[in-house]
Amino acid sequence: MRPVDVTAELHRAAESLRAGQAARAKRAAQGVLAVEPSNAKARHLLGAAYAREGDLPSAIEHLQTAARAMPRQHAVTADLAAAWQRHADGLFVEGRDDDARAAQREAISCDPFFPNIRAAIQAGAEGRLRDAETGYRDVLKADPNHIHALVGLANIAIDRNAPDDAERLLGRATSVSANVSHVHRALARLAMSRSRFPEAEAAAQRAVELNPELAESWTTLGTVLAWGLKQAEAAAAFERALAINPKQPRVHLSLGHVHKALGNSDASIRAYRNAVGADAGLGEAWWSLADLKTYRFTDAERSAMQAAQERKDLFGRDRAALHFALGKAFEDGGEVDQAFEHYRRGNDLRASHESFNVERFEAQCRRLCLAFTATELAEKQGTQETRRRTGVAPSPTPIFVIGLPRSGSTLVDQILSSHSRVQGTMELPHVLGYVRELERGAGYPDAAVQMTPEDLRALGDRYLAETASHRGDAPYFVDKMPNNFLHVGLIACMLPQARFVDTRRHPLGCALSIYKQNFARGQSFSYRLDTLAAYYKGYLEMMRHWQDVLPGRIHRVIYERMVDDTEAETRRLLDHCDLPFEESCLRFFETDRVVRTASAEQVRQPIYTDAKEHWQAFRPQLAPLESALGNALETWDTF
């Protein structure tokens, strides 16, 4: 028998694999093992050849042997991890789900890059997105098909508002394996970022089907269901996550949020307390207790928050949230100076991470006014009005409640949603999403003005289709995203049947309430008194413009007048929406529905007048704001 040239045969096996010739690679590797049974390189190549042929149990057997002999060879352990995942995919197809999940765990246990992935995840959790991105990219340089690295980059892309990049990365991950719950959790996040609830729910449900033993799967499902206003189902999902792992302070926090939205005050307080019990430094949980508005902190809780402030390991967001919560605690105790100081420090921390460009905002307002002129809007709406008159207008009728946060919009929303013909929803993000799409294209607002009647009709139809899961079958529904005040022109063109309700409140009262609110996201103008004043004045100018170019389309509700004469103001509001008066609208606090805003607790009580003049206690601290607002203090309620 001719002696075996081991080096040549190993080379032949490797080249054959690269050429896709698995059978030839097997023969070469087996020839080497016949004379050198302990040759780890040959064992690795043989395992890889079996994997190429789809014989995964044999592949795993040989790759495990090679990995034991060469534990530091990442190429070997990476191939073993990939073989285990492919084996898991096959077991899922066969319906052997438990065996499949065991195979997935084996894949993770032998993945040589998993420590790198964990480090990148931790960097992302700490807000070091650049470090996280570098970590994921380094893994992909070594293994271009590493699922967890692809998902990690996709999640960063979602956070950076780059959904197309995220979709590409997740498509690649899915092509490697469609049976990894981590991928489907990211797909759910992507669908949520695009305001596509059915897709998000389906992806989250698939994650649970694949790995019901993972708390993360249930947490994702709960998050999606809460976003889709399925709060009771969301609570059940969060409970399942906590049953698997009770030591999850942020899941307790999420459970508190859904109970708050459902009006289960005691349950929400219990969940928030569980969250701070698990992590006293979780500022968001302390703030959530404060944000109930009706909650009063005990002396012991105030001391616990002050002690948490001394921790060196607190992230900026948690430290800021603790300041906002302490502000509420001191305010309830009548200590106004200390309260305002905590509000200031909380806002300063938020501003250090999220700046607001006043000049850019003012330029945006000018562009909108120049783009959406009365002539332009009349032309665009004329075509749409023809469609409505010919009987093919889209329905139902959306009522857009717009304005600034903390201006009484939740009260107006609750009054409208108490009508038998109106479905309340939430602050729907869809219009803001369309604006971002236009900005990425030809630019906004120019791209909107250039849209054809067919384009506008399609965008309006898309809005109605994408909001269908939130609004049910009622002929009217409320969209109370306050920031839509900038986009009234676009909305009026794409939805000619839409009604607009502009909610306003005294500038100092509204601004103080905003300044005291630790917003989750999207309100970076609120962190400084000077930017607050500029934003309020810009809002007034935009509403003046919309009133001029869209006469009769916008109804103004002054919060103070609604409080003083609720019935008269409610009748005027309903008249504007072409709705008959119903007594239930005056008993809005009895309406059983999901409310997901800062005023959730307050709108479940009869109207009270205390909030009207509450800002007076802080008037000395608001002197810079009062000066910056200037003439707006005199004109805010005159148009």
User: What residues does each domain of the chain span?
Assistant: 6-109, 280-353, 397-635
Question: Fold match between 6-109 and 397-635?
Answer: no
pLDDT in tens, 281-293: 999 999 999 999 8
* Look-up of token digits 């380094």: 138
Task: Please spell the DSSP secondary structure of 498-557, one letter per residue.
Answer: -EEEEEE--HHHHHHHHHT---SSS-GGGGSHHHHHHHHHHHHHHHHHHHHHSTTSEEEE
pLDDT higher than 90, residue 278: yes
- Whole-structure pTM value: 0.84
The SS3 call for residue 631 is coil
Fold of 397-635: Rossmann fold (3.40.50)
Residue length, the chain?
Answer: 639
3-state helix, strand, coil in the chain (%, to 5): 70, 5, 25
The burial of 78, by beta-carbon neighbours within 10 Å (0-12 exposed, 13-18 middle, 19 or more buried), is given as buried
Element (H, E) at 488: helix 488-494
Task: Please spell the DSSP secondary structure of 315-349, one letter per residue.
Answer: -HHHHHHHHHHHHHHHHHTT-HHHHHHHHHHHHHH
pLDDT confidence tier of residue 595, bands split at 50, 70 and 90:
low
Structure tokens at 597: 């805003």
What average pLDDT does this structure show over 98-123? 94
What average pLDDT does this structure show over 578-597? 82
Strands (E), 160-268: none
Element (H, E) at 238: helix 231-244
The SS3 call for residue 31 is helix
Q: Of 15-19, 199-203, 468-472, 510-514, which range is least confident?
A: 468-472
> Are 236 and 256 within 8 A, CB to CB?
no
pLDDT confidence tier of residue 608, bands split at 50, 70 and 90:
low
pLDDT higher than 60, residue 38: yes
pLDDT in tens, 195-239: 889 999 999 999 999 999 999 999 999 999 999 889 999 999 999
Tell me the pLDDT of the chain averaged across its residues.
Answer: 92
pLDDT higher than 60, residue 601: no
CATH architecture, domain defined by 6-109: Alpha Horseshoe (1.25)
Nearest by Cα to 159 from 135, 127, 183 = 127
Query: What's the distance, CA 33 to chain centroid?
Result: 55
pLDDT higher than 60, residue 342: yes
